[in-house]
Amino acid sequence: MNETSQPGGQLAEERFSEKEKYYTLVVLTFVYIFNFVDRQVLSILQEGIKADLGLSDTQLGLLSGLSFALFYVSFGIPIARMADKGVRRNIVALAVGTWSFMTAMCGLAQNFWQLLGARIGVGIGEAGGSPPAHSMISDMFPPEKRATALAFYSTGINFGVLLGFVIGGVVNDLYGWRLVFFIVGVPGIIMALLVRFTLREPPRGMSENKMVKAEAPPFKEVFKILRSRRSFRHMSIAAGLHAFVGYGVTTWIASFLIRTYELQGTSEVGIWLGLISGTSGAAGTFYGGYLADKLGKKDKRWYMWVSAWATIISVPFLLVVFSLNNYYLALSIYLVPAFFSSMYLGPTLAMTHGIVSLRMRALASAILFFVLNLIGLGMGPFLTGVLSDLFIPRFGGESLRYALLCLVFVYLWSGVHYLIAAKTIREDLENAPA
């Protein structure tokens, strides 16, 4: 990789003002909000969809998990390769337009297979969202601020879940689940135009004051570098196991509360879960990146330690949430794990970008997300649904409770891998390609 410092800084026409950097960050964060509104709105709607289309919990788990994730991760790597070679802004714009259109199409589905096909389309579109955005953000913000910037972007997850739960819950009660998909899907097409015509492509290496002269390296080279880094092997597995629990809980907690407490309608539970994710979850996501940047100035291992201990702390609180028989007490306690379990992503992304070169960042994100989403999004919701169906003969209507209790312990496994990754992260950062 041929990368050289630019003594005079960026050329005038390539410079980004602080205002433009933060405008770009905010717009990309809104794109990520739409990403998770469209991805997670199914969670609050699935009881109604289950009744209308006659589905099992296993089929619901396929819709929200495995089938979506397989296409998401399969298309993510080639699209990220395009992002490392081409104009990332245009890829993000096309991606958000695609997944938003396919979300609207979910509202027309008349059976499981039609809904499955539309959800696959959403997954293909969303594959082009995050890796190019991650790469753009890393080119705008220097290493000492990168985890904070990436964590700010990642709050789109929490605000997306907030809007998905609230809009989905209220509109579903008033007009049914089909209209929800149109309401959350159509605005994303407008967002695609905003990205395409108001954002500039940041120069590669701008935050490090470097100019990239070489083409993006091939996939095999990037994969070889990441595979050779012990810290990445463990942090990617840790992130995947973390997402296994995170997606499983987010997908099924609304159904758990509705079934356990015999709630009528989805408005109230959607509002409560949305507010918890949008406040406590977003605060945890941002603070995880900020704390890692602050502590990481003295010791880079803190990027992994913050992720590890925040994940482990979440376990006892989630066990209490799924063991209680008091609706409002369970929601109140859920604020705690919603905060701590959200702290891992910003530090993980920052370290993934830190151990590769400038032209590898989008592909590095895609490889991380391949592992994260194949394990997490692909298997978390699906296996939780399978366990719930398997537990019915023994636990009856309480089967989902015990499936979620089993799920929570995987967080401990995730935390161990983060602690192992901390042992070699400093060495791997020092050996990053120039």
Report DSSP letters for 87-122, one per residue.
-HHHHHHHHHHHHHHHHHHHTT--SHHHHHHHHHHH
| Residue 173 reports pLDDT greater than 50 | yes
- Asked if residue 301 is part of any domain, the answer here is yes
- The pLDDT tens digits for 43-100 are 888 888 988 999 888 888 788 777 777 888 888 888 888 887 888 999 999 999 999 9
| Residue 12 reports pLDDT greater than 90 | no
Tokens of 127: 């594959």
Within 10 angstroms of residue 208's Cβ, the number of other Cβ atoms is: 16
| Residue 4 reports pLDDT greater than 50 | no
| DSSP letter for each residue of 278-301 | IIIIHHHHHHHHHHHHHHHTT-TT
Q: What are phi and psi of 99, to 5 degrees?
A: -70, -30
Tokens of 272: 């409560």
Distance CA 35, CA 97 (A): 10
Length of the chain measured in residues: 434
What is the residue whose two structure tokens read 């590890």?
Answer: 308
Q: What is the CATH number of the domain that holds 94?
A: 1.20.1250.20
343 close to 281: Cβ distance less than 8 angstroms: no
- The pLDDT tens digits for 376-406 are 888 898 899 899 999 999 999 899 999 999 9
CA-based nearest residue to 30, from 121, 152, 139: 152
- Asked if residue 126 is part of any domain, the answer here is yes
- Asked if residue 250 is part of any domain, the answer here is yes
Q: How large a percentage of the chain has pLDDT more than 70?
A: 94
Tell me, rounded to whole angstroms, the distance of Cα 72 from its chain centroid: 12
The CA radius of gyration of the chain, in Å to the nearest whole number, is 21
pLDDT at 278: 85
Which whole-number Å values give the CA distances from 382 to 8, 56, 258, 322, in the listed order? 53, 11, 19, 18
Distance CA 360, CA 135 (A): 9
375 Cβ neighbours under 8 A, 6+ residues apart: 237, 240, 241, 243, 244
What is the residue whose two structure tokens read 């799924």?
Answer: 322
- The pLDDT tens digits for 408-424 are 999 999 999 999 999 99
- Asked if residue 246 is part of any domain, the answer here is yes
Q: Any alpha helices (H) in 176-266, and if so which ranges?
A: 177-198, 219-228, 230-260
Q: Which amino acid is at 184?
A: V
Which range has highest mean pLDDT (180-184, 318-322, 364-368)?
318-322
pLDDT at 210: 64
Mean pLDDT of 284-310: 95
- Asked if residue 283 is part of any domain, the answer here is yes
The alpha carbon dihedral of 257, 263, 267, 268 has a sign of: negative
Q: What are phi and psi of 15, to 5 degrees?
A: -65, 145
CA-based nearest residue to 344, from 248, 253, 245, 227: 245
What is the residue whose two structure tokens read 């603070």?
Answer: 287
Start-to-end C-alpha separation, the chain: 7
| Residue 13 reports pLDDT greater than 80 | no
pLDDT at 213: 55
3-state secondary structure at position 3: strand
Which whole-number Å values give the CA distances from 342 to 278, 288, 292, in the listed order? 11, 7, 13
- Asked if residue 367 is part of any domain, the answer here is yes
Which whole-number Å values give the CA distances from 70 to 27, 74, 95, 112, 165, in the listed order? 27, 6, 17, 17, 24
Residue numbers of the domain that contains 73: 17-204+216-430
Within 10 angstroms of residue 215's Cβ, the number of other Cβ atoms is: 11
pLDDT at 208: 66
- Asked if residue 8 is part of any domain, the answer here is no
Distance CA 384, CA 29 (A): 29
Q: What's the structural domain count of the chain?
A: 1
3-state secondary structure at position 57: helix
Find the angle CA(165)-CA(168)-CA(173) to the nearest 5 degrees: 120
Q: What are phi and psi of 55, to 5 degrees?
A: -100, 160
Tokens of 398: 């309480």
129 Cβ neighbours under 8 A, 6+ residues apart: 31, 32, 35, 92, 95, 96, 99
271 Cβ neighbours under 8 A, 6+ residues apart: 165, 166, 169, 170
- Asked if residue 6 is part of any domain, the answer here is no
